[in-house]
Amino acid sequence: MTLLTMQTGDRFVANSAEIFQRYGVTLEVGYDFEHYRTLLKEARPDHQLGAPYDPQVHDMSRNNAFWIVGRNIEGEIVHTQAVRLLDMNGMTVGDYFTKRFREFPPSIPGLDLGRSRFRAGPNAKRMRGSVAYHGEFWIAPGADSLRGQGMSCVLGRYGFFEAIQHWDPDHMIAFMAKGIAFKGLAERTGWMHTQPGALRWFLKDVADPIEGFMAYMDREDLHYVLELPLNDLVAMAA
């Protein structure tokens, strides 16, 4: 088992804390997803809580799920993300999502789930063990936004850090739309691997699908990413 070392963990916490202080950001980690739903209504009234994190659909507790909310110096919510440990029942990631990808739709209305599909890549067919699913990643837009400041590098890695502290998973994965992936979000937030063509979501009465990538890392990847110097990454991403 590869664990995040105390030295690496201390370095990441210290460096990220300095950056959050510099930008006036405070983070809260929580486990009550009904409360998280109310926070989303406050921060993102046009966004529905994603189905993978809906406590009315899934049995979630501090043992298998958490959310992160970031606030600016005025107390306004400027960032969200959430992570959930999946119940794999011994399946590979490829088998799991081939059977259950419809439980992880994007938060948009009018999906045609019958035409939609998941395609398992070579690594997805090999990945076994404990798997953490990462989603709900959002940074508020606007003139004073953290977007374009390189903060996605730190915020994404903070989610990885918390996942390791909670469960030390064998793998961590996320889905993202092709357009977002092409803009470099996966690289900025720290994902080391992506699979194109993983998802095709169709809307009712629309011919062309919304294509999705699967981002993924194993435990050693997570460990490696958290050892990289944060200040250099923020400077390069800004």
Contacts of 109 (CB under 8 A, 6+ apart): none
Contacts of 66 (CB under 8 A, 6+ apart): 29, 30, 31, 82, 83, 162, 166
* Alpha carbon 127 to chain centroid, angstroms: 18
Does a structural domain hold residue 26? yes
Q: Which pLDDT does position 9 carry in this prediction?
A: 65
Does a structural domain hold residue 77? yes
In angstroms, what CA-CA distances link 17 with 10, 11, 49, 233?
Answer: 10, 10, 28, 15
Helix or strand (DSSP H, E) at 167: none
Pairing of strands 193-203, 111-118: antiparallel
- Structural domain harbouring 223: 6-233
In this structure, which amino acid lies at residue 49?
L
- Around 37, how many Cα atoms within 13 Å sit in the side-chain half-sphere? 12
Q: Which pLDDT does position 14 carry in this prediction?
A: 85
Does a structural domain hold residue 141? yes
Phi, psi of 132 (to 5 degrees): -100, 135
Does a structural domain hold residue 1? no
Contacts of 147 (CB under 8 A, 6+ apart): 139, 140, 141
User: Which CATH number goes with the domain that contains 107?
Assistant: 3.40.630.30
Number of domains in the chain: 1
Rounded-to-integer distance, Cα 183 and Cα 139, Å: 15
pLDDT digits (tens, 9 = 90+) for 162-177: 999 999 999 999 999 9
Using the predicted structure, report yes or no on whether residue 2 has a pLDDT greater than 60. no
Does a structural domain hold residue 238? no
Does a structural domain hold residue 120? yes
pLDDT digits (tens, 9 = 90+) for 45-95: 999 999 999 999 999 999 999 999 999 999 999 999 999 999 999 999 999
